[in-house]
Structure 1
Amino acid sequence: MKKTFYSNGKLLLTAEYTVLDGAKALALPTRYGQYLDIEPNTSNYIEWNSFDADGALWYKDTIVITDIKSNTCTTQNPVSKTLITILHTAHSMNPNVLQHGFTVQTRLTFPKKWGLGTSSTLINNIALWFDANPYSLLWKSFGGSGYDIACALHNTPIFYEIENGKPVVNTADFNPAFKDNLYFIYLNKKQNSRNAIADYRERNENKALAGKITELTKNIYHAATLNEFRVLIDRHEAIMSDALGQETIKQQLFPDFDGSLKSLGAWGGDFILAASAQDPHSYFKAKGYTTILPYKDMIL
């Protein structure tokens, strides 16, 4: 019998990097995500096809079940290597699933290059398929804080933090009165989160920094006006700029922007948040950034 699983994409509004050190993060599930369709067959392999949002086939492979069970990859395809690692880990958590072959299809509802969670939505969908703990599957196979898994599973904004090595998730009634003044802009550059985390780890493991960001997260959540929100995200950017030894995205690319800008997740790529009293479409389009989504079109 064919089964279909779905997971939401993600954006991290606060506590990028520092969530790894226990900071409380405010995270936003997106209206975009990924489907996983599975259908059993009588073969001894998985026929895997992955489609981008425009319907283009971006990955295809046939994976032998015994290779998954032994974590053996005979191909040099990096996607296949990663997929086999994830499936092997899921199999070790629930050995009852791979008793036969499957025809598998994944379908993104956002362009793969956007960085809204191609990997995290896949991992969560595979966990649902294997009836496995998605956070354990992430940490054993891919790594990361786990906030993206929490977004995959929740249909509202959330607070996310790691306490004693375990994820703590609480729904957040984040529905700012000024949300029509918030926009998400794609920087035309996909960022590798794992590499960015490794760079952060070399520079920081600072509980004091995590505490400072936790307080900012709470204040950002409670911000009543656009101006108050802007002051707070500017402060967040300044603190993380010092911690990372990098200029803020506004300093780097948009110093003349009439509003506030905040990186979301790994600095230097994917989406940023613009908070402005004025519609910023013309400003960013003039600079060559044409993917601009209002808050209501992006966030669940």
Structure 2
Amino acid sequence: MKQFYSNGKLLLTGEYFVLEGAKSLAVPTTCGQDLTIKSIKEPQLIWQSFTNIGECWLEAIFDLPKLRLISADFEATEDGGNDTLAENLMKILQEVRVLNPTFLNSKNGFIVKTNLTFPKNWGLGTSSTLINNLANWAKINPYQLLEKTFGGSGYDIACAQNNTPILYTRNGVNPFIEKVNFNPVFKEQLYFIYLNKKQNSREGIQRFKELKGNLTSEIKHVSELTDAFVNCTNLKEFEKLLINHEQLVSKTIKLKTVQEKYFSDYFGQTKSLGAWGGDFILATGNADTPKYFKQKGFETVISYQDLIL
């Protein structure tokens, strides 16, 4: 039996701008997704995907070596009862085979199981961890596979592969990745809050592309902010950097910051992570932070140490 594991991800700086080549700070999470492969005699691929609480949210059977979908069963609540999940998986597997023609091209078959260790709606990388695990299994470039399937900057793939914070700069299918010692002395005063809804990053990216214009100076500014984040040793300075970053993105995509929109009375500073409007935000604070957000209806408040590798 073979097994592969990939880390989840969070992008601390450079949301949107990472697509344009800005240097960005990304961190792998303590949770992720594994993929196990067991050989069987029958020429079939039996695929099962499980949530963090062990519920099967997708089951599909493919005929091998043709990679033809025979049957599919999915969680009815998944994507509003979307029956294209198995077809999407089939397209990904077909793209893997384009990059490695020997992939799943044998007389025997496989039972493949994927297991998330975080709730699927948290947006920590259900897709990126899958892409990285498949690429490891097929021995192909995960950035090429990402480009042919979901698209995006690729920082999430870099997090899947690294167990430390990284500086990420997009560069086609060969990005620049630098491991960094981002371990702020004030990390006990940092929290992640889930905004109770998964954000479609592709919609956010589309909005950014429509509004962006010439961003040469902004990209430079984001890269400088990223370096400042890494080197910051003072919480008050860190909060100033958060505000600066939020204002820059807000001005570009013409949306209010999360603090303006929801948390104007909060005693610390907040920052959106990834596509604005959902998933997780970062907040500076203290022992009263969880209470504040829970009173606002946001039950998932996780300390920095508990979520980041």
> Fold-level match, TM-score > 0.5?
yes
Q: Where on the TM-score scale, by shorter chain, does this alignment land: which range?
A: over 0.9
Percent identity at matched positions?
47
Number of residue pairs the alignment of both structures matches: 297
Alpha-carbon offset, residue 68 of structure 1:
3.2
Q: Hey, what's the Cα distance between the residues in 2 that align with 1:263 and 1:64?
A: 43
TM-score, with structure 1 as normaliser: 0.95
How far off is 1:73 after superposition? Answer: 9.2
Aligned counterpart for 1:160 among listed residues 160, 168, 181 = 168
CA distance in 2 between counterparts of 1:96 and 1:165 reads 21
1:260 counterpart residue number:
269
Give the unaligned 5+ runs of structure 2: 73-81
TM-superposed deviation, 1:85:
1.4
1 CA distance for matches of 2:71 and 2:65? 12
Q: Does the 8 Å contact 1:190/1:270 carry over to 2?
A: yes
Distance 2:216 2:305 in 1: 34
Q: Mean alpha-carbon deviation: is it higher for 11-20 or for 88-97? A: 88-97
Indicate conservation of the 8 Å contact 2:15/2:275, yes or no. Answer: yes
Alignment of 1:245-284 (within 5 A): 245-284=254-293
1:77 aligns with 2:83: yes
- Counterparts of 1:1-300 in structure 2, within 5 Å, are 2-66=1-65, 68=67, 77-98=83-104, 99=106, 100-163=108-171, 166-205=174-213, 206-300=215-309
> Structure 1: which amino acid aligns with 2:46?
E
CA distance in 2, matches of 1:96, 1:267: 40
State the one-letter code of the partner of 2:67. Answer: I
CA distance in 1, matches of 2:118, 2:271: 21
Report the secondary structure of 1:195's partner residue. helix
Deviation at 1:166, TM superposition (A): 3.2
Return 60-69 or 45-54, whichever deviates more. 60-69
Contact 2:62 2:71 in 1 (8 A): no
Q: Deviations over 1:49-76 (max 9, x none)?
A: 111001111111112235537xx89977
**Secondary structure at 1:77 match in 2:** coil
Q: How far off its partner does 1:97 sit?
A: 2.6
Distance 1:185 1:79 in 2: 28
What TM-score do you get using the length of structure 2 for normalisation?
0.92
Q: SS at 1:48's partner residue?
A: strand
Q: In the alignment, is the contact (CA less than 8 A) between 1:46 and 1:104 conserved in 2?
A: yes
Within 2, Cα distance between the matches of 1:61 and 1:195?
Answer: 28
**Aligned residue identity for 1:240:** V
Distance 1:197 1:150 in 2: 19
**What amino acid does structure 2 have at the position aligned with 1:158?**
I
Contact 1:73/1:80, CA 8 A, preserved across alignment: no
CA displacement, residues 176-226 of structure 1 (integer Å, 9 cap, x when unaligned) = 000000000000000111121111111115222211111111111111111
Query: Partners in 2 of 1:110 and 1:143 — Cα distance?
Result: 22
Q: What's the offset of the Cα at 1:282?
A: 0.7
Moved more, 142-151 or 88-97: 88-97
Q: Which runs of 5+ in 1 are unaligned?
A: none
Change (3 A) 1:188 1:286: same
Contact 1:73 1:81 in 2 (8 A): no
Q: Is the 1:21–1:207 contact (alpha carbons within 8 Å) kept by the matching residues of 2? A: no
Following the alignment from structure 2 to structure 1, what is the Cα–Cα distance between the partners of residues 119 and 197? Answer: 12
Q: Distance in 2 between matches of 1:128 and 1:164?
A: 19
Offset of 1:165 from its aligned partner? 6.1
Kindly report the root-mean-square deviation, in angstroms, between the aligned alpha carbons of the 2 structures: 1.7
